[in-house]
Amino acid sequence: MRYTTLPKTDIKVSKICLGTMTWGNQNTQDEGFAQMDLALDKGVNFFDVAELYPVPATAETYAETERIIGNWFEKSGNRDKVVLATKIAGPGDYTAHIRTNGFSKEALNDAVDKSLKRLKTDYIDLYQLHWPERDTNTFGVRDYSHSSKDPWTDNFNEVLHNLDEIVKSGKIRKVGISNEKAWGTMRYLEESTKNELPRMITIQNAYNLLNRVFEGDMAEIAIREEIGLLAYSPMAFGVLSGKYIKGIEGDNARLKLFPRFARYSGGKATEATKRYLKIAEDNNMTLAQMSLAFVTDRPFMTSNIIGATSLEQLEENIDSIDITLSDEVLKAINEVHAEIPNPAP
């Protein structure tokens, strides 16, 4: 395993982070336990979860993933071996079953306290805001379209002050953002610098061979401002395993169970995936390992969040850490990207 530190901290994390959002839906608790055991044995010390997991989010399964991790901590005694990240759910109809008061002081305190209880821990290493409160283009929406009906008012300073109280209480150590855009990222950084408030040290956004949008303005912000990317969906909902193109997906595959998750399944995305598959096979790699190796080695990357529904998938994904793509492979990848840029933003 390779390691780095969370930006501007001495917190050591593996370059591969264990994603957990299938536990409690596609995976049982026992399977989640086995994945955590394997990941830790292979040197992965960074786990990411969220209060709304598993996905798709429902009132019936709310927070089941955090409960599974808490039960594993209780059974294994391994809390001190893990850097733990979780998130407060953003507002909207999708999460109305959780709460409806956004990132208010009451919401943040409620979310943190309940996550701590479920996770059976006294502290969270990295606490993240799952998506912005304001209307903006997230989750596959290509362009920003301003809405004059957006009720949100600028509260970056207020949110950071509320997080500051929680940090000072010892319940969380560091803070980060997720599904955020350039403007929101810089506003958080501006407020923390001007007012000596907690600094957002990571941003968790989608990034993969089919969605390299982060390489625009966000990459410059990440590098110049030292806010590290935690890449989610590095395999594009499993599309970049090649299993859907080959027709070998299992009955438990995400897109077979939840066909509405079609972000990476459009015509251009499929065409690009076929070309990436050929590059991988021509160079004696699986598409999964090539896709993950590409993500892990980007200069703005802090950690690559991988997920799996089987131990075999998980081991293959973790082992991608040992692959360094050659200049020739990178050139071939970039040629596809130039011809079919970001087919699934």
Task: Say which residues have a Cβ less than 8 Å from residue 152's Cβ, sequence separation at least 6.
Answer: 133, 134, 135
Enumerate the active-site residues. Answer: 53
Separation between Cα atoms, residue 263 and residue 267, nearest integer Å: 11
- Please check whether residue 60 is in contact with residue 75, taking contact to mean a CB–CB distance below 8 angstroms: no
CA angle 65, 85, 118 (to 5 degrees): 40
User: What is the residue whose two structure tokens read 């990317």?
Assistant: 229
Dmax (CA) for the chain in angstroms is: 55
- Please check whether residue 210 is in contact with residue 231, taking contact to mean a CB–CB distance below 8 angstroms: no
Q: Distance from CA of residue 186 to its chain's centroid?
A: 20
The two three-digit tokens of residue 326, written as one number? 């050659």
Separation between Cα atoms, residue 98 and residue 58, nearest integer Å: 9
Separation between Cα atoms, residue 290 and residue 296, nearest integer Å: 10
Task: Say which residues have a Cβ less than 8 Å from residue 210's Cβ, sequence separation at least 6.
Answer: 236, 239, 240, 264, 269, 272, 273, 342, 343, 344
Separation between Cα atoms, residue 310 and residue 260, nearest integer Å: 22
